[in-house]
Amino acid sequence: MKILHNTDLQPFNTFNINSIAAEIFVIESMDDFENNLKFPLKNIKIWGGGSNILLTQPQSDTILKIETKGKNILQENDNEAIVKVAAGENWHQFVLWSLENKLYGLENLSLIPGTVGACPIQNIGAYGVEVKSVIENVEAIDLETGKTLTFANQDCEFGYRDSIFKSKYKGKYLITSVIFKLSKKPNIKIGYGDVQKILAENGISNPTPSDVSNAIISIRQSKLPDPKEVGNAGSFFKNPIIPIDLFDNLKQKFDNIPSYPIDNESIKIPAGWIIEKCGWKGFRESNFGVHPNQALVLVNYGGASGKSIHHLAQKIQSDCYEKMGIKLEMEVNVW
């Protein structure tokens, strides 16, 4: 196991924030867990690809940076395959691997940054698909006892950008691998966003899962800022789910308010629309701000501190609450 001391975390986080970690243990194999770590593990933070973290202070906790590798088909039949993937595998590379192996269900989640081990934490989702629909089990180590546990899908309490690992068991488990059930029969889902439009523009009327993946990759590349050029962590806030009464009130003021029904009592509103209507889209203060084309994405134009971005996020939250009565919840982990 590699151990790094007083290391700058800037190359490891997509916000490109400078921050020092007192100690980083780089975990490359299961032997590293078994031979080098003494349980209970206290004052620990787990790091995947650093694409959903905003660093606001030097990190005094020991960071376990998960770089374990491995993708194995455990079982298969004519219809589906059960695949076990190590936590440190890159998410998008795994999506591409699944397509090469004619295993389907992940194509709508193409190009989401980060690692496989982090995918259950906030139940990653995009273009009408959430990863919970293909997760069979999650294997994890209890940081207190060192015991390995298997969580079945229903035990993970998956919700919108949420799971038991982000709520009740936050910081309690280290996910070592995720077991997926992937289909051998394509189930094309193109009803969300501009996917259908891009496919039509490319003359594709009967798309394969790879066509869907390529369309989503090109949409994401054109719409979202590339963290290599402008530091960001994707959507900074969750899309709020609000009561129908509040929605009806807002509709009187904003006729064209976009919405997605949840049930008879609640409705989801795009947080980006709220932020834009409250006047924050494109806001810039020296080297940080709100992206000019994507109001949901806060950006570091270079050299900004995590504290200043966090402060901006809090100002946006209170302003949107004042103007619309909607509480925006941060999706990004603030450390």
Ligand X SMILES: Cc1cc2nc3c(=O)[nH]c(=O)nc-3n(C[C@H](O)[C@H](O)[C@H](O)COP(=O)(O)OP(=O)(O)OC[C@H]3O[C@@H](n4cnc5c(N)ncnc54)[C@H](O)[C@@H]3O)c2cc1C
Q: What's the half-sphere exposure (Cβ side, CA atoms, 13 Å) at 318?
A: 5
Instruction: Report if residue 299 touches ligand X, rule: CB under 6 A.
Output: no
Which range, of 123-131, 199-207, 211-219, 321-329, touches ligand X by CB under 6 A? Answer: 123-131
Bond from prior residue into 186 cis (ω within 30 degrees of 0): no
Which residues 210-239 are close enough to bind ligand X by CB under 6 A? 224, 227, 232-234
Instruction: Report if residue 177 touches ligand X, rule: CB under 6 A.
Output: no
Q: Decide if 157 is catalytic.
A: no
Catalytic option among 161, 163, 177, 213:
161
- DSSP conformation letters of 94-126: HHHHHHHTT-BS-GGGTT--SBTTTTTTTT-EE
Instruction: Report if residue 118 touches ligand X, rule: CB under 6 A.
Output: yes
According to CB under 6 A, which one of 122, 133, 213, 239 is a site residue for ligand X?
122
- Residue among 49, 87, 57 nearest 71 (CA): 87
According to CB under 6 A, which one of 48, 105, 207, 306 is a site residue for ligand X?
48
- Residue among 64, 66, 83, 86 nearest 75 (CA): 83
Instruction: Report if residue 66 touches ligand X, rule: CB under 6 A.
Output: yes
Q: Decide if 286 is catalytic.
A: no
**Least distance in angstroms from the C-beta of 323 to ligand X:** 26
Residues 22 and 60: beta-carbon distance below 8 Å: yes
**Least distance in angstroms from the C-beta of 333 to ligand X:** 4
Residues 120 and 163: beta-carbon distance below 8 Å: yes
Q: Decide if 235 is catalytic.
A: yes
Rounded to whole angstroms, the Cα distance separating 320 from 328 reads 8
Residues labelled as active-site residues: 161, 235, 331
Rule CB under 6 A: which residues touch ligand X?
A: 14, 45-53, 66, 87, 112-115, 117-119, 121-122, 124-126, 174-175, 224, 227, 232-234, 333
